[in-house]
Structure 1
Amino acid sequence: MLTAAARLLGDAERGSVERLLDGDPFGGAQVAERISMAGLAWWRQDARIFGYGSRRHLESLCWLGANLIPVNASPAAVSAFADMVAGEPRGCSSIVGSADAVLGLWSRLASSWGPSRDVRPNQPLMATSSPAPVPADPGVRLVRPDEIDLLFPAAVAMYTEEVGVSPTADGGERSYRERVGELVRARRAYARVINGQVVFKAELAVITKHTAQIQGVWTAPEWRGRGLARGGIAAIVRDALRRVAPSVSLYVNDYNTPARAVYERCGFQQVGTFATVLF
């Protein structure tokens, strides 16, 4: 009976989906942005969106595309979503979202989708709606479209360091370069450039009516320990609050003590806990 409530959603239920996402503005941001741009139809999204609960009371969501992302997923919803996808080959590169839901899904999917490359069970989800209480670095600015080639090596270095594999592996360079270019042209990519080198960078990878989510934070190794990240994050928060959204959010690995200290100094407070399973 529990699993029968999970079903594929379509545009007819967009209102219910958006109300649910409004109730989880930080945890559901990645899904909310995509639905706001293209609705729920799988053929526009290149993804499927599952729901749990009645049509009058949608309780939980699960996005299945390049990533598997549960939103507001109760234990019963996690069980139902796992039952729906366990019988098909894994096509996603990660499971990411609220820690309880992600780890619950993985416990049910590991036998058919495993092995994972990494499981990060404790990633504080943090947010702020105020300018940082530390000085913003005036040298951190939006990357210009003619600087994509300048930013690209730094973006590759960040991704490789964070995820453990290069985004250019297995023929991925073109698609990753296109993604970096999209962020630059959308005025979402920030950098500090010194002597023709990107020494700090980050992006607003997700933007909704509620929040702008920072991802891809990176400082060149030889520049670490000099306070660049603190001033850079402060500059991005200031610009994002002024120009983009009423809050700024991010999630960070619990073991990344220096990064957590930077975010806390910049006024971020924990609003939840994410987990990520990487394949």
Structure 2
Amino acid sequence: MLRLLGGRPLGARDAEAVTRALDTDPVASCMVAARVEAYGVIPRLLGGEMWSASTPEESLCFAGANLMPLVGDTNDLDYFADRVLAAPRMCTSVVGDTELALGMWDRVEAEWGSPREIRPEQPLLALRGAPAIEPDQNVRLVCSADLDVYFPAAVEMFRGEVGVDPCASDGGRSYRRRLAALISARRVFARFEDGRVVYKAEIGSMSRRVGQIQGVWVDPDERGRGLGASGTAAVAAAIARQGRIASLYVNSFNTAARATYRTVGFDQVGTFATVLVD
């Protein structure tokens, strides 16, 4: 068995077991799997630590900018909570399968204090293969020359979706760098009309099996034209052409978005929860 001797994080010799564990649910694990595939399991490269109380197939958690319990039972959650509370808090959210994420939050809330927001039910959706509707042919990859036009739309989406201004702390420089990196990786899509963005989306995480869509936004003045459905179909089709599953998760109360994604052909394959902490 792979045990954390002295409470050590998982490392290079555990990589195969971690990969097997992530492969059991590639859609739910996409965010972590993408990082592991790119950087391995060594914490200083991964940008966080992988923890297990026994074997990764039975017990697994990622602790970085997000705290994401991936596999485990109540005893494993106790173990993960003890570990995360033993050091200063590094994460800004707890996210993952509803039972695991909210179970983790129950164990750390007393010390971490009131959350900024709890989103307890976020359907996790997946689309295997081509979308059910015609993709918008005017949605294209965003290039570096588009960044000045794209950036205001991304900021507006971020403020509305996350409830935080990405320009508040440093004038948006960090967020702009993040967008520039995604553009360079060919993972940002938009429809432009008259020099402005009317639809946008990004592939926030890309594992070898799944592309997770984020930041879907339609200009408020252009809603009702079906741009959200046809635009997202274009992004999903681009993911499918790479042989990957298109995925995303959405707040349960966002009935309009859920209807849009059903139209595109997405099916619910799980339920996430997110706890945003200050």
Does 98-107 or 4-13 show the bigger shift?
Answer: 4-13
Runs (4+) of structure 1 exceeding 3 A deviation are: 3-7
Whichever residue aligns with residue 252 of structure 2, its letter is D
Distance 2:46 2:4 in 1: 24
Aligned equivalent of 1:183: 182
The SS at the match of 2:198 is strand
Task: Give the % identical residues.
Answer: 43
Please tell me the residue identity of whatever aligns with 1:270.
Q
Match of 1:274 in 2: 272
Query: CA deviation digits over 1:98-155, x for unaligned, max 9?
Result: 1100000000100111221000000000001121121211111111121111111111
1:38 equivalent to 2:39? Answer yes
Query: Structure 2 CA distance, aligned partners of 1:229 and 1:251?
Result: 15
State the partner residue of 2:108.
Answer: 109
Aligned-residue offset at 1:73: 2.8
Contact kept, 8 Å, 2:131 with 2:237, in 1: the verdict is: yes
Tell me what 2:206 maps to: 207
Matching of residue 225 in structure 1 with residue 224 in structure 2: yes
Question: In structure 2, what is the Cα distance between the partners aligned to 1:162 and 1:259?
Answer: 12
Moved more, 170-179 or 101-110: 170-179
1:3-60 deviations in Å (ceiling 9; x for gaps): 9897521111000000000001011111101011111111112311111314xx6412
Answer yes or no: is the 8 Å Cα contact 1:52–1:58 preserved in 2: no
Q: Relative to structure 2, which stretch is displaced further, 89-98 or 115-124?
A: 89-98
Distance 1:180 1:199 in 2: 17
> How far off is 1:252 after superposition?
0.3
CA distance in 2, matches of 1:61, 1:43: 18
1:51 and 2:52 matched: yes
Counterpart in 1 of 2:145? 146
Q: TM-score, normalised by structure 2?
A: 0.94
SS of match in other structure, 1:18:
helix
Check the 8 A contact 1:4/1:80 in 2, yes or no: no
Find 1:254's aligned residue among 252, 255, 262.
252
Q: State the partner residue of 2:83.
A: 84
- Note the residue ranges of structure 1 that are not aligned, 5 or more in a row: none
Aligned residue for 1:26?
27
The 1:172–1:26 alpha-carbon spacing in structure 2 relative to 1, beyond 3 Å, is: farther
Q: Are the equivalent residues in 2 in contact too, given 1:7–1:51 (CA < 8 A)?
A: no
Does structure 1 conserve the Cα–Cα contact (< 8 Å) formed by 2:139 and 2:231? Answer: yes
The CA distance in 2 between the partners of 1:95 and 1:263, in whole Å, is 24
SS of 1:8's partner is coil
Q: Take 2:269 and 2:188, find their aligned partners in 1: how far apart are those partners?
A: 24
SS of equivalent to 1:115: coil
Distance in 1 of aligned mates of 2:214 and 2:243: 15
| 1:155 matched to 2:154 | yes
Q: Which amino acid aligns with 1:22?
A: D
CA distance in 1, matches of 2:121, 2:268: 12
Tell me: CA distance 1:7–1:75, structure 2 relative to 1, closer, same or farther (3 Å): farther
